[in-house]
A and B are shown apart, each in its own frame.
Chain A
Amino acid sequence: MAPANKPKHHVVVGSGVAGSQAAATLRERDPDSRITIFTLSSLPFYNRYDLPKVFRGRQDWREFLVYPPSYYEEHRITLRRNCRVANVDGRRRVLALEHKEDVAFDTLLVASGGRAYLPEELSDFRLLMQRFASFTEAMGVRKQLPEGGHAVLLGGDMIGLDLARTLVDTGYRVSLVTGPHTFWPHEVSDAQRPVLLAALERMGVVLVDGVAAGGIAAIEEGARGMPARRVVFRDGSDLRGDVVMPFFGLVPSVEFMLGSGVDIERGLLVNEALRTTDEAIYAAGDVCQIWSDAERKYRFYYGWKNVRAMGELAARNMTGGDEPFRPAQDEQLEIRSDGWLHSPFWEYE
């Protein structure tokens, strides 16, 4: 614990919506403190929700930045990029970086988000698939996909479907291999599912029922003169495309918190004030499961509005507040009047 007269060191792990909002709020509420953000990203905070726009002509990362680089200096926020946290010692209040640097903190906010989940049966083929979680990955897809080319999306969560609607709208062909994750993180009933799939078809997405095909047997490089990739199903059928992209939802990035002393289930378990079982450690965003009194369980909350609200609330509670989290996001999938699917998770400010 810092002496009363010594400025506190607030450390934030993750520079996404939750982490960046938390840093901004921390600066507002604790003007004399030190604030450090650690992130794996090479870039300052940019809007990942905008990434599909690489297909609409935006290909300079600077166009995606939420704050200009000068923001960090002006707000005295130290942004440390390309930094992987190796572990956290909650008792000593020390965080260790992979390059063997120890950083002491007074309060820690874990906002490390989630990484794309890849089913184990596909992990052998990961080098043949393109991810779409960062600017550089988005640009990689943009480079590999020829104009009017064919993208094969596996699974199809809300991140994937957001990309799918942009690709269709910009003249690409999209095939979606559907499965249990197609509408993740929305919970969809058996009755709703065909209606929603039909909406996707109306949007121009070609649907391939992966379950009916027995699942994916292999992903291969395309033969010379053929599209670059081939997805082979267990029933012997195949699907060729220029890129294959997995979208199976997110898994929380919590590995570095193992051994920190806080409770972890799938994500970091936090109370309604977003505090973990260590009073100096908080969590916000896709990495945490929040206790819901109403549902009597820990649950994830997704979407830009929820995540930003969590970042702000965590910062408030790290600086003396004690307020509960109140979801700020509508979570219902809907069919719009034009027949297209719309997810509130695609909305951001």
Chain B
Amino acid sequence: MMTQRMMPATDIQIAICGSAGDGTIAAGEILRNVMAGIGYKVISFDVYPAEIRGFGKCIARMRITTEQAYSLKQRSDVLISLDDSHAIPHVGEVRDCGAVIYESGSIRPVPEGGHISAHILPGQLPYGVPLRELSEKATGANKSRNIVALGYLAGLFGLPAQPFIEGIDGKFKKKAEVARSNEAAFQEGYAIGQATYKLDDVSFEPVARSAGNGARVAMINGNAAVVRGCLDAGIETFFGYPITPATSIMERLAAEMPKRGARLLQTEDEISAISATVGAGYAGARAATATSGPGLALMAEMLGLGVIAEVPCVVFVSQRGGPATGMPTKHEQSDLHMAVYGGHGDAPRIVIAPTNVEGCYRCAGKAFEMAEAYQVPVIVLLDLYLSNRYETVSFPARPPFEPDMTRYAEKGELGEGYKRFRVTEDFISPRAVPGTREGMHVATGLEHNEPGRPNDQPENHQAQSHKRHQKLKAALRHPDFTHYKRFGDEGKVDVGLIAWGSTFGECLEAMHKARTDGIRCAAMKVVMLSPFPAEAVAAFMDDCAAVLVPEVNYQGQFANLLQANVGRRVERLDRVPGTPMPVEEILQEIRRLTGRIEARRPVRVA
């Protein structure tokens, strides 16, 4: 029997849109932290311009719910405009009876139709607020328009002021004067909001705080979760070169690692970063680097060294729009081929891709375990949406990661006859890190024999290649790791969704909506991309009349990977909008497939 999912009591998406310098992202940060602190679940994603200089568009979007949501909604309930020229194209995303809050005044002439009031649809509710005037009244300057808008929002929707005051204090804790003036700005907006008759039907229902179980609840984005996973897993070295959208991983680690006696170095480029990471991994440290698609391309050669020398290390790759410089601040999932296959020679590696922020934490920690357990570089494939998306995450009280999973060479294996690359029953060889007494061996980029000496004989190359591939199969059973997971499972269904990375959130949302509409639909997320869990995926496909793979790349890279491993055809939904896949589009495709299945279903004659 199909289960009905309860609709969340509160499910409100707020978009704040402004120009760089308007404090758009800062206002979003305060709002999402406050709402998470009150006890709501929050998913948030910021969009900002690629250009460092200038006044590009910034949007902070957040979905605030009382029950867990899995993606942002296509339509917002509230839009706050801090800059009409940027916000006008987004007015249409506000639903009927939703609210548009905007600056009612103007200090310079506006061209005809250039004011947001010309674009607010009759079904939407306009709230013009003199943001600039109120900011100037409260602070003597217009810089706190964003905070006035926050205050207005809180007052209009009956949210408590105190958490916002604390949130503002927290945001500006190093600048007491700024904090004070922003508090005043908030109060100005709050008073006006409270006095305004609320015409929209946006309503925040009270939220119950969950009972404490020792878990640590945090409002955090994907990159920050990666950092927390690294730290909880005991990362010892990190080498990196900044690149959007991975940079904040290095920035956060740079602040945290020295406190724990760990080392971080910003290298001169990505080649140096991966070289040093492989070196540190070889030396026995838990080592990682982080980059994006262009950086991964540069790292391909040294990753091959890591594969052939069987060096554990972790590479975090946050994908963005490509190829080349492409669209650095736009979302895409188009580095899957490169992550799984990129580089020269047969260079198998482990590739895992979390699907949500909590998954970023777990994948980050587990990547170190896997790198050690299977003696191979592990790529953790993130994407811009996941890296920058904020979610309320409950972290376990104790880190769920093993501190060391290395299969060290035992005493009897060391000495003159030590074979660092011995072909064992499970193809994982005994390892000796540099400095191990009687563990001296050669590690080289040349093909080598079991002791590690260069050897290009056909039988040896065959055996070592086989070993390097076969040992990874055990990763499909790596303990306490979600390699894949089925959702909405009740046996046979009409449409099954299979997805990876952040797109799975949209798929899950679409699945729930489809089921609410009475469509028999299930979903499967695949976290372990290489080696590929072909049997589990095939079993899921057996239960689905049609399988749809939505992903944010043009080629259908995951669908290619799936078909290559499972040998069956899937329906593809490949889009490259630079933004997350719209749930509605997935839903539309589900409906189309359902219609096709219905049309083919034999008619029972009474």
- In the complex, which of the residues B96, B105, B112 contacts A69, with contact meaning CB atoms closer than 8 Å? B96
- In the complex, which of the residues A43, A98, A101, A102 contacts B199, with contact meaning CB atoms closer than 8 Å? A43
- In the complex, which of the residues A101, A103, A104 contacts B106, with contact meaning CB atoms closer than 8 Å? A101
Is A44 interfacial (CB 8 A cutoff)?
yes
Is B412 interfacial (CB 8 A cutoff)?
no
- In the complex, which of the residues A70, A80, A140 contacts B123, with contact meaning CB atoms closer than 8 Å? A70
Q: Are B117 and A80 in contact (CB under 8 A)?
A: yes
Stretch of B125-133, B392-400, B438-446, B492-500 contacting A (4+ beta carbons < 8 Å): B125-133
Q: Are B126 and A101 in contact (CB under 8 A)?
A: no
A264 / chain B contacts, CB cutoff of 8 Å: none
Known: A61-B199, A83-B117, A139-B197. A44 touches B122 (CB 8 A): yes
Contact residues of A between 54 and 107, Cβ < 8 Å to B: 61-62, 69-73, 78-83, 97-104
A102 / chain B contacts, CB cutoff of 8 Å: 109, 112
- In the complex, which of the residues B96, B104, B110, B121 contacts A82, with contact meaning CB atoms closer than 8 Å? B104
Residues of B within 8 A of A (CB): 96-97, 104-115, 117-118, 120-123, 125-128, 197, 199
Interchain nearest-CB distance for B211 vs A (Å): 37
B127 / chain A contacts, CB cutoff of 8 Å: 42, 82
Q: Are B126 and A42 in contact (CB under 8 A)?
A: yes
Is A130 interfacial (CB 8 A cutoff)?
no
Beyond A71-B122, A100-B109, A104-B112, 4 additional pairs, beta carbon < 8 A: A70-B123, A100-B107, A101-B109, A103-B112
Interchain nearest-CB distance for A50 vs B (Å): 16
Is A25 interfacial (CB 8 A cutoff)?
no
A139 / chain B contacts, CB cutoff of 8 Å: 197
Given the complex of chains A and B, what is the CA–CA distance between A70 and B111 in angstroms? 26
Is A136 interfacial (CB 8 A cutoff)?
yes
- In the complex, which of the residues A44, A72, A81, A99 contacts B105, with contact meaning CB atoms closer than 8 Å? A99
B199 / chain A contacts, CB cutoff of 8 Å: 42-43, 61, 136
7 A-B pairs (CB sep. < 8 Å) = A79-B122, A82-B104, A98-B105, A100-B107, A101-B115, A103-B112, A104-B112
Interface of chain A: mostly helix, strand, loop or mixed: mixed
Interchain nearest-CB distance for A138 vs B (Å): 10
Given the complex of chains A and B, what is the CA–CA distance between A100 and B106 in angstroms? 6
Closest to B105 in A: A99
Closest to A38 in B: B117
A71 / chain B contacts, CB cutoff of 8 Å: 122
Interface of chain B: mostly helix, strand, loop or mixed: loop
Q: Are A97 and B115 in contact (CB under 8 A)?
A: yes
B122 / chain A contacts, CB cutoff of 8 Å: 44, 69-73, 79
B114 / chain A contacts, CB cutoff of 8 Å: 101
- In the complex, which of the residues B96, B110, B126 contacts A99, with contact meaning CB atoms closer than 8 Å? B110
Query: Looking at B108, B109, B122, which has the most chain A CB atoms within 10 Å of its CB?
Result: B122
B120 / chain A contacts, CB cutoff of 8 Å: 80-81
Closest to B196 in A: A136
Given the complex of chains A and B, what is the CA–CA distance between A80 and B128 in angstroms? 12
Known: A104-B112, A136-B199. A78 touches B104 (CB 8 A): no
Q: Are A82 and B117 in contact (CB under 8 A)?
A: yes
Known: A69-B121, A80-B118, A82-B117. A101 touches B111 (CB 8 A): yes
Interchain nearest-CB distance for B118 vs A (Å): 6
Q: Are B197 and A101 in contact (CB under 8 A)?
A: no
A99 / chain B contacts, CB cutoff of 8 Å: 104-106, 110, 115, 117
A104 / chain B contacts, CB cutoff of 8 Å: 112
Give the 5 A-B CB pairs with smallest separation, nearest first: A69-B123, A69-B122, A136-B197, A101-B110, A99-B106
Closest to A136 in B: B197
Interchain nearest-CB distance for B156 vs A (Å): 12
Interchain nearest-CB distance for A326 vs B (Å): 32
Contact residues of A between 101 and 135, Cβ < 8 Å to B: 101-104
Given the complex of chains A and B, what is the CA–CA distance between A139 and B197 in angstroms? 9
Q: Are B197 and A140 in contact (CB under 8 A)?
A: yes
B110 / chain A contacts, CB cutoff of 8 Å: 99-101
Closest to A44 in B: B122
A100 / chain B contacts, CB cutoff of 8 Å: 106-110
Closest to A94 in B: B112
Closest to A83 in B: B117
Given the complex of chains A and B, what is the CA–CA distance between A284 and B196 in angstroms? 30
Given the complex of chains A and B, what is the CA–CA distance between A103 and B111 in angstroms? 8
Q: Are B109 and A82 in contact (CB under 8 A)?
A: no
